[in-house]
């Protein structure tokens, strides 16, 4: 059994979600699935304009909003004024640098279980019918600690 490439995988994801398969959607989702750089709309636009020269910014907004509605992708704010996007393959959360805005994925064995437990507890406490969560941790990334001359205790 050969390993599926990203294009095949994302094609299947689109079909499974009953989304009409357009080159734009396919390319955007493939970009998100193969990069872990938490791009903004601008970043995506710049990266894909070689592949699809007529790709419009409004299409990217539309497409990403559709993906977010289906839960394929999540939105992140890092304080630079624009929204960043992340394809949500395996359970993880984010550490965001308060100095340079860098976002990294964090996970550990059992995070998925902890997360479910947290959602269940929240449902009991609040009465909300939970559909998802964001966990973000803020701080200085290793590079900025060096750059700012900060010693770790």
Partner DNA sequence: CATTTAATTGTACTCATTACTAATTAAGAC
Partner DNA sequence: GTCTTAATTAGTAATGAGTACAATTAAATG
Binding residues: 97, 100, 141, 144
Burial of 39 from C-beta contacts in 10 A (0-12 / 13-18 / 19+): buried
Count of residues in the chain: 153
Q: Which residue has the tokens 């507890």?
A: 121
76 is a contact residue toward DNA (CB under 7 A)? no
Q: Least distance from C-beta 100 to DNA, angstroms?
A: 16
Which part of the chain contacts DNA (CB under 7 A), choosing from 31-39, 50-58, 94-102, 144-152? 50-58
24 is a contact residue toward DNA (CB under 7 A)? yes
Q: Least distance from C-beta 26 to a copy of itself, angstroms?
A: 27
- Nearer to DNA among residue 55 and residue 73 (C-beta): 55
52 is a contact residue toward DNA (CB under 7 A)? yes
The residue within the footprint of DNA, chosen from 3, 54, 90, 126 (CB under 7 A), is 54
Q: Summarize as ranges the residues that interact with a copy of itself (CB under 8 A).
A: 77, 93, 95, 97-98, 104, 106-108, 118-119, 121-123, 125-142, 145, 150, 152
Of 101, 59, 64, 62, give the one whose Cα is nearest residue 81.
101
| Helical (H) or strand (E) element with 23 | helix 23-34
For DNA (CB under 7 A), the number of binding residues is: 25
Burial of 92 from C-beta contacts in 10 A (0-12 / 13-18 / 19+): middle
Q: Return the sign of the alpha-carbon dihedral for residues 63, 73, 132, 70.
A: positive
């Amino acid at each position: 059994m050969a390993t599926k490439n990203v294009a095949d995988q994302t094609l299947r994801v689109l079909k499974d979600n009953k989304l009409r398969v357009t080159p734009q959607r396919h390319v955007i989702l493939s970009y998100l699935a193969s990069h872990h750089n938490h791009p903004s709309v601008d970043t995506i636009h710049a990266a894909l304009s070689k592949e699809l020269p007529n790709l419009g910014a409004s299409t990217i907004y539309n497409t990403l909003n559709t993906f977010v509605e289906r839960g394929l992708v999540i939105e992140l704010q890092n304080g630079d004024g624009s929204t960043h996007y992340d394809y949500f393959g395996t359970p993880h959360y984010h550490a965001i640098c308060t100095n340079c805005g860098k976002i990294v994925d964090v996970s550990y064995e059992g995070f998925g279980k902890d997360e479910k437990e947290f959602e269940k507890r929240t449902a009991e406490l609040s009465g909300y019918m939970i559909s998802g969560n964001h966990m973000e941790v803020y701080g200085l990334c290793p590079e900025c600690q060096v750059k700012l001359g900060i010693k770790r205790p």
